[in-house]
Amino acid sequence: MTYSVAVAGASGYAGGEVLRILADHPQFEVRTVTAHSNAGQPLIQVQPHLRSLAHLDLVETTADALLGHDVVVLALPHGASGAVAAELPDDTVVLDCGADHRLTSATDWARYYGGDYHGAWTYGLPELLHADGSRQRAHLAGARRIAVPGCNVTAVSLALSPGIQAGVIEAGDLNATLAVGPSGAGRALRADLLASELLGSASPYAVGGVHRHIPEILQNVALAGGTGSSIAFTPVLVPMSRGILATVTARLTPGVDAASVRSAWEAAYADEPFVHLLPEGSYPRTAETVGANTAIIGLTVDTEVQRAIIVVALDNLVKGTAGAAVQSLNLALGLPETLGLPLNGVAP
């Protein structure tokens, strides 16, 4: 069976990456692509790397343009998806790559985003551990509304959830520092994202507990069984077009040894097709994940300070966004979870 797909926000980075993956998927056919300021242009004019989709033209983003498809992917700015999604039929599978449907707390939405709160959808991070040992993928089967996680959230959640669920690290006093490529901020023209500002420099942003991904991370920590959780979260823009390298640390639960810590992550990810734990002493680089739907993890214990140190690399546009969307979509439709998703990166 072939499923028809419409992608809203197809002129942006996230929308373009969704299209790149869908173009090679054997059971999806992209029939409609929409945009705002670029409406009326050929898709190939704004996404020149998508040669196989050169026959498509961008149309205005409206609910009417999205009707009549089996699947709708919303790759719109935060705050823009809720109103559009509300006009789509219940039997259409809708994936929101923005933040509008990620948070379960209306209070957190008001504090970190503002504007209308549209409620939480089924969360699209299949590997996320729950406190009872189950995983989020069980909730994605048959889902018709899916919230794709934030890219930074994916890296930090995959780093922490095995240790939280196994009880080998504490949920309080968490720390995450991330090197992030600017494509995560979208394609809109901003002075701080110009090459002349980024090249040769590393720039922290949203410092001091104000980053919008914080409540989503804590929501996932709580889902894994963490209570009283708190996190110091510091993202840093670095001059690479895509990628996240997250260094996450957590205090060990008293009495836990280093072998027990590693065992928790080994058990969690041993059978996961897209999350890979490296051997002791090895750590990932972002270059190893470019273009792939993989998260690669290095893990050690600093016995001097009794903290677990977890380093996660992923491509923010693939495993961090578009790949997660298609992986969740496969599960929702009963297709093989790995179908159409790239496992191998691009090098050099």
Query: Which residues are known catalytic residues?
Result: 151
Distance CA 20, CA 42 (A): 16
What residues does 236 pair with on adjacent strands? 179, 204
Closest-CA residue to 310 (of 246, 252, 253, 255): 246
Q: What are phi and psi of 322, to 5 degrees?
A: -65, -40
> Can you list the alpha helix ranges (DSSP code H) found in the chain?
13-23, 43-46, 63-66, 81-85, 106-112, 137-140, 151-166, 195-198, 214-223, 258-269, 323-332
Surface-to-core class of residue 236, CB atoms within 10 Å of its CB (0-12 exposed, 13-18 middle, 19+ buried)? middle
- Write out the H or E segment, with its range, that includes residue 52: none
CA angle 206, 212, 215 (to 5 degrees): 125
Q: Determine contact, residues 8/75, Cβ cutoff 8 Å.
A: yes
Sequence-separated (6 or more) residues with CB below 8 Å from residue 304: none
